[in-house]
Amino acid sequence: MSEAFIVSARKYRPQRFDEVVGQEATTQTLKNAIRNKQLAHSFLFTGSRGIGKTTIARIFAKTINCKELQADGEACNQCDACLSFNRNASFNIIELDAASKNSVDDIRDLIEQVQYAPQNAEYKVFIIDEVHMLSPSAFNAFLKTLEEPPSYAKFILATTEKHKILPTILSRCQIYDFKRISIEDIQKHLKKIADKESIEADDNSLNLIAQKADGGLRDALSMFDRLVSMNGQKLEYTTVVKSLNILDHVVYFQFIEQIVNEKSDGVLLQLNEVLSNGFDLEVFLSGLAEHIRHLWVAKKETTLSLLEFNAEVKSQFVAQSKELDEAYMLNLLQIISECEVQMKTTRNRRLAVELALLKMCYTKKLMQTSWTELGEKKKI
């Protein structure tokens, strides 16, 4: 019988601090606190979804109970406490999903468990995920315990919406703001997994998945699994673009080329092709504006580092940015912005976008005419 399939997000879930992707500042701070035995009684991990909040909470819970803590602040993964945690059999780590258990009774049950000392360990750790989902009465019932817990109790609260948590709760926690994971870090992690799974994947494909994930590693791994299921053990850029149903930057390079060369018929035909492939007008406009932003960033050496693409794609942005000056790009962005506003009220949305593209084709001439007229007015 074949082995059951395990999604990559679970199969490659970090078991040590140094395996966590993109949260080096947080993991290093927690390791220092563990080594120096300067542990707060309650922590709040906050940040967007899929960036490692719950994962780090579990690693932290395992590490503070490790009986043979390593010199670098990592758990040994060999003592009884570590082994029982790895088997999901530890009685000293209690997790509560506040999205489904958010009532006063659920919190009272948790508070009752706080009264019992840990078994064969120094600490008892309570991890409350999606803590912002707790009801106001549940928050109030939790306040006293969170402020003055027993010495062996540690609380780790995780949330994607920090602003929904009561200030009285925030003031009782040591807050860690998790950052979105960079495209480069996600791409490197996907490359490691692809090598381990013997999957052929070019850098452009992995970079595209990382961009689409928008800073969330879990989303990137989910997309990666889906693409492998659809396309087999080989991921190619063209098939990834088609499978994810996204507008590739190649399309926008062509649009800008047509606009710069004032090919009004070309932009209309290309827009028709984009719409025929099922893409929404808002998605197209948003992508075009983002592409112009990338060109703006690529125009100067000081801002080039903000462009999170492979070297080959970066060079394409740099080359195209030389064809447009900053005032020209600003005018293009202004036309897009006005079009987006207009689309909310107009009946013929496609016509509004077509007119915006035609304006862009003749923006250079309009700019030159405007400056000429301005000069003449000054003379008069």
- pLDDT 10s digits, 335-365: 889 888 888 888 888 898 889 888 888 887 7
> Do 218 and 109 lie in a common domain?
no
Is residue 111 domain-shared with residue 62, that is, in the same domain? yes
Last residue of a domain, one of 244, 267, 288: 244
Q: Is residue 2 part of a domain?
A: no
Same domain, yes or no: 217 and 257: no
pLDDT at 104: 85
Per residue in 303-316, pLDDT (tens digit) is 888 887 777 778 88
SS3 call for 46: strand
Q: What is the pLDDT of residues 262-278, one digit of tens each?
A: 888 888 998 888 888 77
The mean pLDDT of 112-120, rounded to a whole number, is 82
- Kindly state whether residue 48 falls inside one of the protein's structural domains: yes
Shared-domain flag, residues 99 and 137: yes
Q: Is the pLDDT of residue 374 over 50?
A: no
Mean pLDDT of the chain: 83
Tell me the mean pLDDT in the region 229-240. 79
191 with 309, same domain? no
Does one domain contain both 283 and 231? no
Report yes or no on 255 lying in a domain.
Answer: yes
Q: Are 209 and 185 in contact (CB under 8 A)?
A: no
Measured CA distances, 33 to 41, 47, 120 (Å): 12, 21, 22
Q: Is residue 80 part of a domain?
A: yes
Domain identity same for 212 and 268:
no
CATH number where 135 lies: 3.40.50.300
Domain contains 296? yes
| Number of domains making up the chain | 3
Q: Which range of residues forms the domain containing residue 209?
A: 183-244
The C-alpha angle 130, 135, 137, rounded to 5 degrees, equals 135
Do 155 and 214 belong to one domain? no
Residue 317 lies in a domain: yes
Amino acid at 156: I
**Chosen domain end from 177, 206, 227:** 177
Q: Is the residue at 1 inside a domain?
A: no
pLDDT band at residue 371 under the 50/70/90 scheme: very low
Together in a domain, 253 and 238: no
Q: Hey, what amino acid is at 85?
A: F
**Residue 378: band (very low, low, confident or very high) from pLDDT cuts 50, 70, 90:** low
CATH code of the domain covering residue 355: 1.20.272.10
Question: Are 231 and 263 in the same domain?
Answer: no
Q: Are residues 270 and 307 in the same domain?
A: yes
- Distance (Å, whole) CA 358 – CA 380: 32
Q: Which of 157, 177, 197 is the last residue of a domain?
A: 177
Helix, strand, coil distribution of the chain in percent, nearest 5: 60, 10, 35
Residue 305 lies in a domain: yes
The pTM assigned to this predicted structure is 0.75
Q: 25 and 46 share a domain?
A: yes
